[in-house]
Amino acid sequence: MKEEFIISAYSENHIGLLNRITIIFTRRKVNIESLTVSESALRGISKFTIVVREERSRVENIVKQIEKQVDVLKAYFHTNEEMIFQEIALYKVPTQALMESDQIERMVRKHNARILEITKDYTVIEKTGHKEETQELFEGLNKFGVLQFIRSGRVAITRSANERLSEFLAERDALLASIEMKSN
Amino acid sequence: MTAPSKEFMEMKQKAMQITGAEAVIRSLLEEGVETIFGYPGGAIMPVYDALYDFDKQVRHILTRHEQGAVHAAQGYARVTGDVGVCFATSGPGATNLITGIADAMIDSTPLVCITGQVASPLLGTDAFQESDVVGISMPVTKWNYQITTPEEIPTAIAQAFYIARSGRPGPVVLDLTKDAQFGKVDFTYKRCEKIRSYVPEYPLDKESLKSASDLINSAKKPFLLFGQGVVLSGAERELQEFIEKAGIPAAGTLLGLSALDSEHELNTGMLGMHGNYGPNIKTNECDVLIAVGMRFDDRVTGDVKRYARQAKVIHLEIDPSEINKIIKADIAVLGDAKKSLRMLTRLVKRQEHTDWVNEFHQAADIEDEKVIQKDLFPVKPGLTMGEVVRMSSELTNNQSVVVADVGQNQMAAARYSKFSKTRSHISSGGLGTMGFGLPAAIGAKIGAPDREVVAFVGDGGLQMTIQELGTIAQENLPVKLVVLNNHFLGMVRQWQQLFFERRYSFTEMVNPDFVKIAEGFGIPGKQVTTREELKVAMKEMIDNPGPFLLDVLVEKEDNIFPMVPTGASVSDILLSAEE
Ligand SMILES: Cc1ncc(C[n+]2csc(CCOP(=O)(O)OP(=O)(O)O)c2C)c(N)n1
């Protein structure tokens, strides 16, 4: 059964790694629903957040393949329940529509969205939330004609207290020190 | 004494600097590299120029095509266990390496390939002979990296070797811009010992080893599968001690074959599509299946839904991503095979499973009667691939390094060679690359100059890299080439016969006179067509101190059996076309 999973991978900040990670999906014909890359709380370490709809066993294998990449430090996968996540959406509507009735303004309030910029021609509205929520606002606004729309990739954070990676890095150092390599 | 002037210090400093190109060669020397396979060109010329001064320390083999260089480097790596090194220029030179790199990736062969690249200001401008080598090679390398400054060279090379040879080995590509080769650098070298984001192998998990040994101790019908992981970790002795103590029959994958003496009483042969009858059917009868350093390739498992369902599976494996990838393991032991097996041997009880082992012998007798006798002592006048291979094995006391190309010749070489030493069987397993055999034999001979190297190649595969006869001639390498010549793309023809109603669509080949071609390269050769001539000619080949090509005309429409047809279960293995 396919479900939605959030994969998060931590890597060294190296050129080409995004490509190395995405081809793991391409090769298996797994569609990436969304992808976000940014710096993590730790300097020099990037964090990839990738959303897929797949069978759990396939996701397990993909995560192992991601982790196998030399420059990747650690990769996890989670169900939506295990994470707090958000996406951000921007909507551009004609300012005239905003002027003609108060419906758009009410919608903005109801959805906890906010207005970023108003010009003579257009108004830009911003909303963060889950995809269904940003979509719902889109449907609403579109009755007045949305001129432009964009939704970001998902950002997600675990429900545990601290960045797991810091503990992980300490463990990693100990692990590497403990391995007696064949060459010595 | 007055302090030396600033200018003097700067001059002295300059004098200690070397070019990036020289830093490449010095770094390779620091890694113990003795042989480089390669082909020059504009974008790698500074490196080649630097190499000119080091001809006493490193041997460079000029192949006739970059594909030849990379396959030779693979052959070298497989026979020595060291990293194979090759050089190529940018663009077409680099792309010609890709097939071999892909082959090395899937067969876990350690390679460091250094490709020239256009100068960094030209990157991305579609400059002459520019190609995105880092991008192209990404899916088929364990790691790759583009070097654009001379300062990066020593560190990148140290990391490349560390990554290529540690853990589960694999190919690495370093793409080196021309300006990085020309630039100057203060050279100091430090071998790489760890990389934070890379765990080459995990420490042994004692608990899983304990559960594995409990399971093995209670097994009635245990069966062990060994793969190339055993060879890569140097665990041949540990494997033998383990199966002897626990009394477990064993079978090898194509790439694992020479890890255990073919004559060992617990060695039951080869697994897989054209493997032996016993190991295939017994996979579906054993109660505990112990897989060591192998990855359940589909050529080994056949239909996974009908593979070893009855058995508890124990998987000893260094690469975490292989565990549960294809066959779910009841007990997974992550780690190096040598260490795992050593520990496991201590934990298991001494046992014999005489009746169970005998079942393998009975299966072997059936196969012998239905397949092997027909191959080795044919009643037809036409020569079989099997008898040619077996004769070579006998004449070299099962001591030669057997290299095979791909196709029927490969399966005959694997089935009918006997191996008494490890690292004696070199073949393209995962990718199945035709054209691999001849150049791989070159690398194998250079890596093991004191061993007889016999390569079996088909008439099709030979013609994919036949130009490497030039390399053999130039280096006067005593490689023995046996062409199993059936005037067909034999393996494809076999499938056409069995599964496409004998519609032999474009598999028949009009071949040149291979002996004359060899002669043109200054390599002696002989063609044989009859059984009587075969032994004499083969002796002549082996006694000849230099290279030799033996063109053996074999039966045109012979088939390789047994066979597990695609999609069938390993227990549905066929012994003949009539079944
Ligand atoms: C580069 C490449 N192209 C195509 C194939 C598909 N293929 C597998 S076996 C085979 C026939 C090999 O014929 P030949 O070299 O004459 O050897 P034989 O099977 O007759 O021993 C072919 C075409 C391949 N393995 N590799």
Least Cα distance to A125 among A148, A101, A102, A103 occurs for A148
Give the integer Cα–Cα distance in Å for B360 and B282: 8
Residue B1 has pLDDT above 80, yes or no: no
- For A73, the closest chain B residue by CA position comes to B197
Nearest partner of B278 among B341, B215, B225, judged by Cα? B225
Residue B340 in 3-state DSSP? helix
DSSP-assigned letters across all residues of A12-68: E--TTHHHHHHHHHHHTT--EEEEEEEE-SSTTEEEEEEEEEEEHHHHHHHHHHHHH
**B432 in contact with ligand 1, CB cutoff 6 A:** yes
Whether residue A38 is predicted with pLDDT greater than 50 in this model: the reply is yes
Question: Mean pLDDT across the stretch A27-31?
Answer: 96
Which of B406, B459, B462, B563 has most ligand 1 atoms within 8 Å of CB, for mutation? Answer: B406
Instruction: Say yes or no: A170 contacts chain B, CB-CB below 8 A.
Output: no
CA distance B474 to B142: 33
When CB atoms are compared, the residue of A57, A70, A179 closest to B197 is A70
Ligand 1 neighbourhood includes B437 CB (under 6 angstroms): no
ipTM confidence? 0.90
**Integer Cα distance of A18 and B379 in angstroms:** 61
- A179/B199 touch (CB, cutoff 8 Å), yes or no: yes
Binning pLDDT at 50, 70 and 90, where does residue B4 land? low
Question: Percent of chain B at pLDDT above 70?
Answer: 98
Binning pLDDT at 50, 70 and 90, where does residue A163 land? low
Q: Is the minimum CB–CB distance between B134 and chain A shorter than 8 Å?
A: yes
CB count, 10 Å around CB of B312? Answer: 19
Beta-ladder partners of A60: none
Q: How far is the CA of B460 from the centre of ligand 1 (A)?
A: 6
CB pair distance less than 8 Å for B203 and A178: yes
pLDDT digits (tens, 9 = 90+) for B499-528: 999 999 999 999 999 999 999 999 999 999
Closest chain B residue to the Cα of A66, Cα to Cα: B321
CA of B388 to the centre of ligand 1 (A): 19
Give the nearest ligand 1 atom to B435 CA: 1
Q: Is residue B492 within 6 Å of ligand 1 at its C-beta?
A: yes
Ligand 1 center–CA B329 separation, angstroms: 34
The nearest CA of chain A is from the CA of B145 a distance in Å of 9
Q: How far apart are CA B483 and CA B388, in angstroms?
A: 10
Asked whether residue B3 carries a pLDDT value surpassing 90, the answer given is no
Query: Measured in angstroms, how far is the CA atom of residue B409 from the centroid of ligand 1?
Result: 9
Q: Please give the number of the atom of ligand 1 that sits closest to the Cα of B406.
A: 9
- Give the orientation angle of helix B385-395 with respect to helix B408-416, to 10 degrees: 40
Instruction: Look at residue A171 in the predicted model and tell me its pLDDT.
Output: 85
Rounded Cα–Cα distance for residues B284 and B302 (Å): 12
Tell me the two tokens of residue A83: 């994470």
> Per residue in B328-370, pLDDT tens?
999 999 999 999 999 999 999 999 999 999 999 999 999 999 9
pLDDT 10s digits, B76-119: 999 999 999 999 999 999 999 999 999 999 999 999 999 999 99
Q: How far apart are CA B258 and CA B230, in angstroms?
A: 10
Query: DSSP class of residue A74?
Result: E
For the Cβ of B317 lying below 6 angstroms from any atom of ligand 1, the answer is no
Per-residue pLDDT at A182 exceeds 60: no
Ligand 1 site, residue B459, Cβ cutoff 6 A: yes
State how far the alpha carbon of B271 is from the alpha carbons of A17, B225, B233, B235, B241, in Å: 37, 8, 20, 19, 21
CA of B503 to the centre of ligand 1 (A): 17
Query: Does residue B406 line the site of ligand 1, with CB under 6 A?
Result: yes
User: Among residues B129, B351, B467, B474, which one is catalytic?
Assistant: B129
Q: Verify whether ligand 1 is closer than 6 Å to residue B408 (CB atom).
A: yes
- Tens of pLDDT, residues B280-330: 999 999 999 999 999 999 999 999 999 999 999 999 999 999 999 999 999
Flag if B196 and A73 touch (Cβ within 8 Å): yes
Q: Nearest C-alpha to atom 5 of ligand 1 is from which residue?
A: B434
What pLDDT is stored for residue A168 in this prediction?
82
Please tell me chain B's helix, strand, coil percentages from 3-state DSSP, rounded to the nearest 5. Answer: 45, 20, 40
**What is the Å distance from ligand 1's center to B272 Cα?**
18
Look at residue B11 and tell me whether its pLDDT is greater than 80.
no
- Is the minimum CB–CB distance between A181 and chain B shorter than 8 Å? yes
Q: How far apart are CA A121 and CA A118, in angstroms?
A: 8
Task: Choose the catalytic residue: B66, B130, B367, B468.
Answer: B66
How far is A78 from B454, CA to CA, in rounded Å?
Answer: 53
Residue A169 CA to residue A178 CA, distance in Å, equals 14
Nearest Cα to Cα of residue B367 among B72, B575, B157, B516: B575
Each residue of B446-459: pLDDT tens digit? Answer: 999 999 999 999 99
With CB atoms and an 8 Å threshold, state whether B320 touches A67. Answer: yes
Label residue A183 by pLDDT band (50, 70, 90): very low
Could you tell me if the CB of B489 is within 6 A of ligand 1?
A: yes
Cβ of A176 within 8 Å of Cβ of B199? The answer is yes
B486 C-beta closer than 6 A to ligand 1: yes
Nearest alpha carbon to residue B254 among B235, B275, B238: B275
Q: Do B224 and B292 form a contact (C-beta atoms < 8 A)?
A: yes
Cβ atoms of residues B290 and B248 within 8 Å? yes
Instruction: Name the nearest CA neighbour of B322 among B134, B135, B170.
Output: B170
Confirm if B401 and B79 have CB atoms less than 8 A apart: yes
> Is B319 in contact with B183 (CB distance < 8 Å)?
no
Q: With an 8 Å Cβ cutoff, are B199 and A175 in contact? A: yes
Give yes or no for A67 touching B (CB within 8 A): yes
The residue length of chain B stands at 579
Taking the C-alpha atoms of residue B19 and residue A103, their distance in angstroms, rounded to an integer, is 71
Give the pLDDT of residue A161: 72
Residue A184 confidence (pLDDT): 37
Answer whether B243's CB lies under 8 Å from B250's CB.
yes
Say yes or no to pLDDT of B15 above 60.
Answer: no
Among chain A residues, CA nearest to B82: A183
* Nearest CA, atom 1, ligand 1: B434
Average pLDDT, chain B: 96
E strand or H helix that includes residue B361: helix B354-367
- Please name the amino acid found at residue B17: Q
Q: Please report which confidence band the pLDDT of residue B5 belongs to, taking 50, 70 and 90 as the band edges.
A: confident
Distance CA A89, CA A139 (A): 13
Residue nearest to atom 26 of ligand 1 (CA): B434
pLDDT tier for residue B147 given thresholds of 50, 70 and 90: very high
Minimum distance, in Å, between the CA of residue B192 and any CA atom of chain A: 11
**Chain B contacts of A72, Cβ < 8 Å?**
197
Find the closest chain B residue to A63 by CA distance. B321
CB B530 within 8 Å of CB B553: no
Cβ atoms of A78 and A158 closer than 8 Å: yes
Percent of chain B with pLDDT strictly greater than 90? 96
Q: What gap in Å lies between CA A159 and CA A81, rounded to an integer?
A: 9
Measured in angstroms, how far is the CA atom of residue B406 from the centroid of ligand 1?
A: 6
Q: Can you state the angle between helices B490-499 and B408-416, rounded to 10 degrees?
A: 100
Residue B380 falls in which region: left (phi positive, over 0), alpha (psi -120 to 50) or beta: beta
Residue B111 in 3-state DSSP? strand
What is the end-to-end Cα distance of chain A in Å, rounded? 47
CA-nearest residue to A12 within chain B is B197
Which residue has the CA at smallest separation from atom 17 of ligand 1?
B458
* DSSP SS3 for A102: coil
- Taking the C-alpha atoms of residue A127 and residue B540, their distance in angstroms, rounded to an integer, is 83
Interchain proximity A70–B196, CB inside 8 Å: no
Residues 146-205 of chain B whose Cβ lies under 8 A from any Cβ of chain A: 146, 163, 165-166, 193-203
Provide the β-strand partners of residue A53.
A4
Residue B178: active-site member: yes
Test A70 with B143 for CB contact under 8 angstroms.
yes
